[in-house]
Structure 1
Amino acid sequence: MFNLSHPKLVTLAETEGYAEVADFLEDYALDSIVPAICMAPNCDHTADLEPDQRAGFCEACGRPTMKSGLVIAGLI
């Protein structure tokens, strides 16, 4: 099931300069590196990671909480 309204996904899309989550996903759906965001509360650090990343290391808070925008949306 797709989840295009998740708050972290909306934040990630806006950080990348997109007004609409759908436009963000369309541009990155087939890339080998995509934007990811930290899922920890009070941390919105972003980085470019693998499309299927679910537990990447966050350089800001030090936790394994980085998740790809494609994973958050439910595309992967």
Structure 2
Amino acid sequence: MFNLSHPKLVTLAETEGYAEVADFLEDHTLRSIVPAICMAPDCDHTAELEPDQRAGICEACGRASMKSGLVIAGLI
């Protein structure tokens, strides 16, 4: 099931310069490295990670909470 309205996904798309989440996903779906965001409530750090990343280490807060935008959206 797709989730294009998740607040962290919206924040990630906006941080990457997109007004629409769908446009963000269209541009990044087939790439080998994609934008990811920290899922911790008090952190919005972003980084480029693997498309299937679900628990990457956040360089800002140190938690294993980085998640790919494609995973958040439910594409992977």
Give runs of aligned pairs for residues 59-70 of structure 1, distance below 5 A.
Answer: 59-70=59-70
Identical residues among aligned pairs (%): 89
Q: Give structure 2 stretches of 5+ with no counterpart.
A: none
Which contiguous aligned blocks of 4+ residues in structure 1 show a shift greater than 4 angstroms? none
Do structure 1's residue 36 and structure 2's residue 30 form an aligned pair?
no
| TM-superposed deviation, 1:47 | 0.1
Question: RMSD between aligned alpha carbons?
Answer: 0.2
| TM-superposed deviation, 1:33 | 0.1
- The code of the aligned residue for 2:39 comes to M
- Normalised by the length of structure 2, the TM-score is 1.00
Q: Give structure 1 stretches of 5+ with no counterpart.
A: none
- The code of the aligned residue for 2:17 comes to G
- Normalised by the length of structure 1, the TM-score is 1.00
